[in-house]
Structure formats: structure tokens, C-alpha cells
Structure 1
Amino acid sequence: MRRSSGPVIEVESLADFDRRIMRARSLAGWHLQSVDVSQRSAELAQVPVAGALFLGCTFAEGDEESVRARGGIVFPTIPDVPLDTYRGRLYTAGDLYDTAAYPDSLDARVYGWSQQPENTDTTLARALHDHAMDDALGEWVQGRSLVGVMGGHALARNTPAYAGAARLGQLLGARHTVATGGGPGAMEAANLGAWLAGTPEADLDAALALLGRVPDFRPDVGAWVGAAFAVRERWPAGGESLGIPTWHYGHEPPNAFPTAIAKYFRNATREAILLEICRSGIVFLPGAAGTVQEIFQDACENYYADADSVAPMVLVGVDHWTRELPAWPLLQALAAEREMGEHVHLVDSLDEAAAIIG
């Protein structure tokens, strides 16, 4: 259990409930989130519940009515929703890929459900779920130095660019917590590198060779993610990293290498949060429209930030960002004579990028 600011007490597991109830005189201010209290009828009956909030909790027969009658507020589970809308913790890869066959997995089931015509129940369920992700992510990032790695989703595993992104993730992961959009391509590569942070480069080379046998998630997501889990099994002591994918791009499966996954329905929310939490800087690898959008969304935050809040922006690929997609000249023009000016960088080397982040 954790106490947030003010009188609210968030209870997110039965163990939390059991520890707290032993000395509780009232449940006023408690927010119970997806807790199964069906075996705690006696405990619920012995204390006042007025002012308590029960979000998606499971009760024994008659207890929900009793709680309501005594002033507790109960938000029931929304029917026919394949996920916990009041979830109190981030996902793991095992949570999303909970079956061997990808079409039967939680990730695929939720994406399929999200494609149905919207109604009040579905929009409410998505909003409640994304709010729960906000809450869980806000707790998870505390005390961590997060560095973002942004880049294209289409990068195949058997390419030099993928290997470079993985090496960058390995370098950054030795001193920081790597955060990505949680999808395939460069995002997966950076999370892979963070998983193998602190291991010899030879281990990364071996992992890349294993993954290269299934270079893309098309046409078989199951084989693609299966190769990732094989790497995880061979090197089980993975370094931590974060992925923030979205079901908005459900055709792009989440990669299996982040140790924590905050998956959202709303892509705009997910993108803004990813940029916001990377307070130790962001490295932008060569990409297309999505990466360009992220560059200038981050630039806007830094443009208006005070000196203590500006985070480094490192663009990798001089030719890419000056000739193919000339974002660098505009970024330089924006940064001129602003606090962010000394914090924007253009390099050709991944080692240079890692050194700038520090």
C-alpha cells in the first residue's frame, strides 16, 4: 500500500488491505483498486466504510450492497471488457503475451475489443484504464533517471541500424533507465540493449543473431515475440527499461524487452507522457514522420522551459537530419538564444550520443 498526498490511501492488493485493516478505525479516504475482498466480509463489516471508494473490487454476496448502504462508493467492473480498467500496476511482457498463440493473447484480445463501435461503456473503460496507467506510471518513474530513445518502428532486426540502436540502449542502460515507445524496430532494439546493459558486447551480438532469424513481426507475431522470449530466457537477469506502446497502433505489437510497460489506448496521451518523463534527455534516431513529430513536440517543451528543466536533445545522423529530413536547421533556429540552445546536439556516432547524455 502507498499513501498519496492528502488523506487518500490507495490500496491495490489484498496484501495491502490486510496490512492496513489490522489497525484501521475507518476506511474513509481509502481507494481500493481491483482488490478481491470476497473473503474479507468480517473485516468490511467491523469498520465504517463511509467515504471509501471501491474501484472494480470483487465482493462476497451481499457485501457490495452493505458497503453502499453504509456510505461506501462502489464503481463496478464494466461488463464485457477484456482487461482490468482499474489496474494498479504497469504491465509486463508476460501479462500482454499470456498465451502461446498471439491471436489469443491479452494484447490481441484488447486490440480486437478496441476496434468495435464506440459506446458509453467502451469509451468509459478506455478512459478509466488510461487513468490507471497514469497513476501506476507516476509511481514507477519516481527516483529513476529516464532517457528516451525515439526511432522508426520499421527497422528490421537483421540490419546494422537495429544493431546500432541496441548498442545505444546498452550504453545508456548502464547509467540510466531507457524509455521507448515500446513497439518494434528501433524501440525494441533500445529496450533489448537495456536488457543486456552491463553484459559483454559479445552477448549482445549473440542476442542479435538469435533475433535476426525472425527479422520482422510480419507475417507472424508469434514467431517474432517467441524469438524475443528465447533471448530473455538465455539472459534472464535483464536490466530494467520502460516501454509505452498504444493499442491505437495495435497492428504494431509491443516488444518483450521492457521490464515495465505502460500501454495506453490514447496515442496522444502516450506520446506526451513519454516525452514528459524523459527528464535526463532523449536520443532521436533516424526516423520518419512520427520521429519528426516527437522532435518538435519535445522542442516545444524545452523552448518554454526554464534553465533547470531543459533536457538534452540528441539527433543521430547528420545526413538524415540535414538532407533527407532537414529537421536540424529548424531546431537550431528555434534553440538560438533560448535556454535550450546549449542542449540540442547533432551527431553521427551513437557513442557520441551516449557520451552527451552522460
Structure 2
Amino acid sequence: MQNPRESIPAPGVEIETLAEFDAAVAAGPLTGHRVQSVDLTARSAALLATDTSGAVFLGCPMEPGPAEKVRADGAFVFPPVPGLPFDPYRGQLYSPDALYEGLAGGGYDATPDARAYRWFRRTRSDGDAFASMLRALHDDAVSDALDELLVGQRVVGVMGGHATPRGSAPYAAAARLGRTLARSGLTVATGGGPGAMEAANLGAYAAPHPDAMLDKACELLGAVPSFTPSVTDWALAAFAVRERWPAGGGSVSIPTWFYGHEPPNPFAGHIAKYFANALREDGLLARSTAGVIFLPGAAGTVQEIFDSTTPNYYGSRGDPSPMVLVGRDHWTRELPAWPLLRSLAAGRPMESRIALVDTVEEAPGALARLSAA
């Protein structure tokens, strides 16, 4: 009797664009290839003429005739799902423009981001196995795209509170931190929301521009300090900055629809947005291979500190990664995470990879020292 696992074709090339599809067809059969969320309605002739046996098509629109032929070849076809506000098979990360499409004309409620959040709220607790499967497919596709993007990059996570208002001194300091890290060759990654997270992504965006650009951008954004009461006004202010200073530097953000009331900030060039918050949080910290800087925050940031501590304590990801906590009074008196972290690290390899500093300006130097330890 055949093992069911043996019927699954060995993975070949992943195809995520029409150009990649055309190149693969020109090279020969598509056996074993994975074609992911590519509109093939204009490639009927190629599909009819090419051997697609053992290929996998994930959410690829096709004309009826070629679709029937592909199935007859023995390909695995996962059809598009109509009526969804997101693509569960997407092959690439989101861009700010993709999540905020329609913002200027219809406001935030009309955007794909808002519509996906409404769908999530409607389906997350109704026990529908199909909806659960779609969320899982989507999040796995996002993880795959994120891993492809970050190959060879040194990623530093910047964590901090979502409530840090635009126009404030802590916001400007977090933005300067993001700029310094990006200019040093690191890829800045954040939780993708507003506040300190937005500031760090803004700083990375400002990295290629003169220093005065960031000061002016912070001033302009300060006119809309928070996403409440209007996400629309908050997001439009960010896009106005992007339009005034195009060609900004890249960074990554990893937000979640679990906290969908907090909109994703538009300054990260690549947005890996998840439905599952646990998958998102662990993935963000695991991918911060060059370390994590923790700015003052509340419950969410405390959780991220100890989510990062656990694999460092047990060595489950190899050598411990650097952890820099910013704000001595905050982390020793207001929310005393530092004493517990120091006690856990005592006598273990991670002891030389943790630091507490007073100011944001000290964080990059501390990170560099810990990385060399």
C-alpha cells in the first residue's frame, strides 16, 4: 500500500510572479513546482502546452479549459477563495499601499486592513474549521515570505509601547534609534503598530535622507499624535510624510489582526501581518538575530522581554541573542523586569548578553558591545 506521503510531489521552484512563471515554463515541465497566488488567466496557452504533473497551484486564477487540463495532468490545485478581504495563499509580504488601499477615498474602514480585521472578529470564535484553515494558510504563507525576505540580513528588533504619542520626546528618540540602527547596516524589525514601533520604522525610513528630514517629519506627524479618535487622519499624516520624502529606507514590521484596533504603521516597507498573535510574537523575536532593544512599555513589552528570555535561558536557538533594556527607572522601579532578568541570567551564557541603559542614545553602543561579547 502506498504511503500517502509518497504521493506528495517533492518541492521544486517556488513561483510567485508572472515573470517567474514564464521563465519556469521556458525551462521545461512544471513538475514539483509551487505556483503561489499568480493570476494565470492570461497564460492559458502556456498551461495547455506545458506538463504540469505534480505541480502545486495555490490560489491561481485560471480559465476553465486550462484549469481542467492542469487537474487532468495530476497537479494539485487549491482554488482562490471568493469573497475574502485577504489572499490566504499570498506569496509576498504586504506593503503599506496594499494594506491601506482606498484610504484617501473611503477612509480607513474601506481599506483591506480594516476589512480583514472585521472578518477576523466575525470568524475567530465561531468554530468554523474552514475559517481557521484559511487563517492558518495565510499565516504560513506570510512566514514563508518573511523568511525569504530576511535571508542574509542582520535583524534587530525594537520593542516598545504603542501609546508613545507622535510629537513627544520619547517618540523622537525612538525614531533616531531606528535611523542609527539602519545606518549601521542592520534591518530594523518592530511589532508594526503605532507609538514607539512606528517611530523606529520611521527612523529606518529616514536613514537615506539628511538628518533634518527626520526632525521635520516628527514635527509634521505631531499634528496627529494618536490613531484615536481617527485612524484615517493618523494614517493620512504618515502617507503625507512618505509622499514628501519618497525613496525611504526599508524596514520590517510584524503586526497582528489580533490587536486589530491598533492599525499598522505605514513606515515599514515590508509588513508581515498575522492573524495568530502567538505565531507573530515568537516569529518576531526569533528573527531578531542581531538582538532586541526594549524601550519603555507596559504589559506587551514585558511579555516580549520574557518571550525573548526563555530561548536565551535554555539555549534553544543556539547562542543567546543580545537584549538591551532602555530606561533604568522604568525597568527597575515602575516595572521591575530587570532584576528578574538579571537573576535568571546569572551564571548562564546569556549573562554576558543582557544590558540596562539609561537612554535611547546608549542603546546602539550597548547592542554592539553585547554582540561582541
Of 70, 74, 85, which aligns to 2:73? 70
Residue in 2 that maps onto 1:143: 152
Q: Give distance in 2, aligned partners of 1:296 and 1:223.
A: 35
Out of 39, 49, 54, the position equivalent to 1:51 is 54
CA distance in 2, matches of 1:23, 1:201: 48
Mapped to 2, the partners of 1:41 and 1:177 lie a distance apart of 40
Residues 66 and 243 (structure 1), Cα distance of their counterparts in 2 relative to 1, 3 Å cut: same
Q: Which runs of 5+ in 1 are unaligned?
A: 1-5
Distance 2:91 2:345 in 1: 39
Mapping 1:246-265, distance limit 5 Å: 246-265=256-275
Amino acid corresponding to residue 162 of structure 1 in structure 2: Y
Tell me the equivalent position of 1:12.
16
Q: Which amino acid aligns with 1:156?
A: P
Matches within 5 A, 1:188-267: 188-267=198-277
* Offset at residue 308 of structure 1 (A): 6.1
Q: Give how far 1:7 is off.
A: 4.4
The answer to whether the Cα contact below 8 Å between 1:307 and 1:339 also exists between their aligned partners in 2 is no
Match 2:115 to one of 92, 102, 109: 109
**3-state SS of 2:267 partner:** coil
Match of 2:100 among 67, 85, 97: 97
Q: Distance in 1 between matches of 2:316 and 2:221?
A: 43
Local SS of the residue matching 1:62: helix
Contact 2:208–2:248 under 8 Å retained in 1:
no
1:341 counterpart residue number: 351
Q: Distance in 1 between matches of 2:16 and 2:26?
A: 16
Q: Distance in 2 between matches of 1:136 and 1:211?
A: 31
Cα deviation code 1:74-102 (max 9, x no counterpart): 11112321111110001110000001111
Q: Residues 307 and 27 of structure 1: is their aligned pair in 2 closer, same or farther, counting only changes over 3 Å?
A: closer
Q: Any conservation in 2 of the 1:158–1:211 contact (CA below 8 Å)?
A: yes
**Which deviates the most, 49-58 or 198-207?**
198-207
Secondary structure at the aligned position of 2:241 is classed as helix
Q: Who is 1:159 aligned against?
A: 168
- Report whether the alignment pairs 1:88 with 2:91: yes
1:322 is the counterpart of 2:332: yes
Map 1:305-316 → 2, pairs under 5 A: 305=315, 309-316=319-326
* Partner-residue secondary structure (3-state), 1:345: strand
Structure 2 CA distance for aligned equivalents of residues 352 and 308 of structure 1: 27
Q: How far has the Cα of 1:22 moved from its partner?
A: 1.0
Q: What CA distance in whole angstroms lies between the structure 1 residues aligned with 2:318 and 2:11? A: 31
Task: State yes or no: 1:122 paired with 2:131.
Answer: yes
Gaps of 5+ in 2: 1-9, 369-373
The CA distance in 2 between the partners of 1:306 and 1:266, in whole Å, is: 22
Select 1:34's aligned residue among 18, 37, 41. 37
TM-score scaled by structure 2?
0.91
Tell me the SS of whatever aligns to 1:265: coil
The alpha carbon displacement at 1:317 in A equals 0.5
8 Å Cα contact 2:177/2:364 also seen in 1: yes
What percentage of residue pairs aligned between the two structures are identical? 55
Mapping of 1:173-184 within 5 angstroms? 173-175=182-184, 176-184=186-194
Does residue 289 of the first structure (1) align with residue 338 of the second (2)?
A: no
Provide the C-alpha distance between the structure 1 equivalents of 2:322 and 2:77, rounded to a whole number of angstroms.
45
Normalization by structure 1: what TM-score? 0.95
Quote the residue 1:3 is aligned against: none
**Greater CA deviation, 141-150 or 37-46?**
37-46
SS in 1 for 2:64: coil
More deviation, 319-328/73-82? 73-82
CA contact (8 A) 2:194 2:262 kept: yes
